[in-house]
């Protein structure tokens, strides 16, 4: 099976990259690379990435050197297979190591930093990475509505002052019609298609994973938005949005 994923990666990576004037964004809660069959399989998750060939990916639920992951650095394993740059932000200490979120990217970030976010069931974190033409953020927000709402001003403060297009992606643990999502929409423009459900992966009935752009979104135009039909690699489905950074922002 490992050889299958190796061949898939080699075949897809050179030919499916986004066009030079577009940016292919992905978010994926990978559940530590443990699929719906209960098996940890880094090559299977890497195969999902290979089929999408994103320029930048927000990843959630990542162990680093925990007993649960048998000491593996999950983001590092995915980076090693896909040959992408890894940027990690731990949210909490866990099982002898750390647990958090990360970003994989074709381009190495110019800089990156993390900001603690509230989470009464467990601490949360925002990861911000600045690239040449844009800023990309990953967030896995709290299960508690009050904590999600309290996270929004902290996110906005962390992004204040940039003159580049800013993208925020991740598992936000909330539905599109919630008060938090309505408040977020005042400052962010949702780019992903909220009509395409993302959880649970075998037969999704909820949309809780998103990609958005900070308003004013600059010259960002959505080329496509989709949720690939991946039912096994994780309990979430990935979300993929392709944008043009030089296009005109459509009227809303």
Q: Which two tokens stand for residue 117?
A: 């976010």
pTM: 0.91
Domain 2-244 homologous superfamily, CATH: Endonuclease/exonuclease/phosphatase (3.60.10.10)
Compute the distance between CA of residue 113 and CA of residue 33 in angstroms, rounded to an integer: 24
Handedness of CA 31, 36, 42, 47 (dihedral sign): negative
Helices (H) and strands (E) in the chain, counts: 5, 12
Q: Is pLDDT larger for residue 244 or for residue 246?
A: 244
Question: Are the beta carbons of 141 and 148 closer than 8 angstroms?
Answer: yes
Match 């598992």 to its residue by tokens: 171
pLDDT tens sequence across 24-65 = 999 999 999 999 999 999 999 999 999 999 999 999 999 999
Question: Are the beta carbons of 209 and 198 closer than 8 angstroms?
Answer: yes
Question: Are the beta carbons of 228 and 196 closer than 8 angstroms?
Answer: no
Please report the pLDDT score of residue 245 as a whole number: 87
Compute the distance between CA of residue 219 and CA of residue 164 in angstroms, rounded to an integer: 10
Question: Are the beta carbons of 147 and 120 closer than 8 angstroms?
Answer: yes
Q: Which two tokens stand for residue 131?
A: 């690239």
Compute the distance between CA of residue 93 and CA of residue 29 in angstroms, rounded to an integer: 19
Compute the distance between CA of residue 153 and CA of residue 33 in angstroms, rounded to an integer: 31
pLDDT tens sequence across 95-146 = 999 999 999 999 999 999 999 999 999 999 999 999 999 999 999 999 999 9
* Domain map (residue ranges) of the chain: 2-244
């Amino acid at each position: 099976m490992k050889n299958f994923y190796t061949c898939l990666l080699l075949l897809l990576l050179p030919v499916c990259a986004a066009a030079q004037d577009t940016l292919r964004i992905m978010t994926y809660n990978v559940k530590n690379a443990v699929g719906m069959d209960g098996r940890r399989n880094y090559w299977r998750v890497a195969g999902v990435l290979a089929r999408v060939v994103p320029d930048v990916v927000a990843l959630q639920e990542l162990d680093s050197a925990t007993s649960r992951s048998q000491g593996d650095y999950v983001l590092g394993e995915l980076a090693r297979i896909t040959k992408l740059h890894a940027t990690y932000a731990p949210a909490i200490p866990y099982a002898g190591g750390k647990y958090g979120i990360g970003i994989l990217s074709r381009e190495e970030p110019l800089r990156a930093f993390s900001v603690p976010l509230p989470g009464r069931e467990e601490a949360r974190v925002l990861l911000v990475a600045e690239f040449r033409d844009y800023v990309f953020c990953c967030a896995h927000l709290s299960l508690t509505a009050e904590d999600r709402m309290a996270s929004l001003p902290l996110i906005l403060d962390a992004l204040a002052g940039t003159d580049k297009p800013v993208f925020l992606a991740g598992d936000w643990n909330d539905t599109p019609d919630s008060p938090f999502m309505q408040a977020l929409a005042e400052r962010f423009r949702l780019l992903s298609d909220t009509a395409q459900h993302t959880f649970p992966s075998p037969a999704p009935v909820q949309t809780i994973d998103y990609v958005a752009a900070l308003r004013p979104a600059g010259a960002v135009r959505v080329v496509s938005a989709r949720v690939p039909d991946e039912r096994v690699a994780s309990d979430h489905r990935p979300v993929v949005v392709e944008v043009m950074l030089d296009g005109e922002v459509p009227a809303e």
